[in-house]
């Protein structure tokens, strides 16, 4: 099973460039998430989608946009990249956050460097 | 106050040692609790869920204390392969997101 697939795995951008991080899950999960992970900061939620057709801001949404294209896919867009967005980005999915003991499954991550 | 707090460590222990990690959470209306393991430059993966009555999986024991709002993970007979960062994760009843601790780094030394 593929689980959660993220692309690309690595990316270097120049300041001001735009890009879209792609994420797809094949587990028929309702909820999907985008996190960034920085040293000493842990995983911080950027945006999430509780179900197809809905998206909500997380802890650090500024500078990002998302699209829940369908139940499988949830993309993250950086419209104008800044060095502060250098980070490791993880996409995750879960069955539904309202369910007891539902776990989150993660993609392999995207290492983004903005120069 | 952070939703989930963990001692970042690092914990450096010899093979065969027993090591315990603690984690506190601030939202008393929290529903589900987990320990995740993250290897260097890899994605987090579920190690075990934490149940109210406590649970064990081989050398790993997880406990939950709702009254004091903390979760613990005990690793017995540490192996070199246990070296990783351990993340405490909390899911509130009414929230739509998982809250992660910053992680506790463990290195098991030969």
pLDDT of A68 reads 96
Select from B34, B96, B103 the Cβ nearest to the Cβ of A97: B96
B60: nearest Cα among B43, B79, B45? B79
Candidate from A6-15, B38-47, B91-100 with smallest mean pLDDT = B91-100
pLDDT of B95 reads 65
How far is residue B40's CA from residue B95's CA, in Å, rounded to a whole number?
Answer: 29
How far is residue A115's CA from residue A100's CA, in Å, rounded to a whole number?
Answer: 42
pLDDT in tens, B20-62: 999 999 988 877 899 999 999 899 999 999 988 889 999 999 9
Chain A residues 28-87 within an 8 A CB cutoff of chain B:
31, 33, 35, 40-43, 45, 48, 50, 56, 58
Residue to test with chain B: of A42, A88, A96, most B Cβ within 10 A: A42
Q: How many Cα atoms sit within 13 Å of A42 on the Cβ side? A: 23
Q: Do B44 and A100 touch (CB under 8 A)?
A: no
Mean pLDDT of A54-82: 96
| A25 part of contact set with chain B, CB < 8 Å | no
Whole-number mean pLDDT of chain B? 92
Q: Sheet harboring B4-6: ordered strands across?
A: B4-6, B19-25, B70-75, B60-65, B55-57
């Amino acid at each position: 099973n593929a689980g959660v697939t993220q692309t690309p795995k690595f990316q270097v951008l120049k300041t001001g460039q735009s890009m879209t991080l792609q994420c797809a899950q094949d587990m028929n999960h309702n909820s999907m998430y985008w996190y960034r992970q920085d040293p000493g900061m842990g995983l911080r939620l950027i945006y999430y989608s509780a179900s197809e057709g809905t998206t909500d801001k997380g802890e650090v949404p500024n500078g990002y946009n998302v699209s829940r294209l369908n139940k499988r896919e949830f993309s993250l867009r950086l419209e104008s990249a800044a060095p502060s967005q250098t980070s490791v980005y993880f996409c995750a999915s879960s069955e539904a956050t309202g369910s007891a003991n539902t776990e989150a499954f993660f993609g392999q991550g995207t290492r983004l460097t903005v120069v | 106050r952070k939703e989930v707090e963990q001692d970042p460590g690092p914990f450096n222990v010899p093979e065969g040692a027993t090591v315990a990690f603690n984690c506190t959470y601030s939202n008393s209306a929290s529903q589900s609790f987990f320990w995740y393991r993250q290897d260097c430059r890899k994605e987090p993966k579920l190690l075990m869920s934490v149940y109210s009555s406590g649970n064990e999986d081989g050398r790993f024991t997880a406990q939950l204390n709702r009254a004091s709002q903390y979760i613990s993970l005990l690793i017995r007979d540490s192996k070199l392969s246990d070296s990783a960062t351990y993340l405490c994760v909390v899911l509130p009843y009414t929230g739509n997101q998982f809250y992660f601790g910053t992680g506790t780094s463990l290195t098991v030394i030969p």
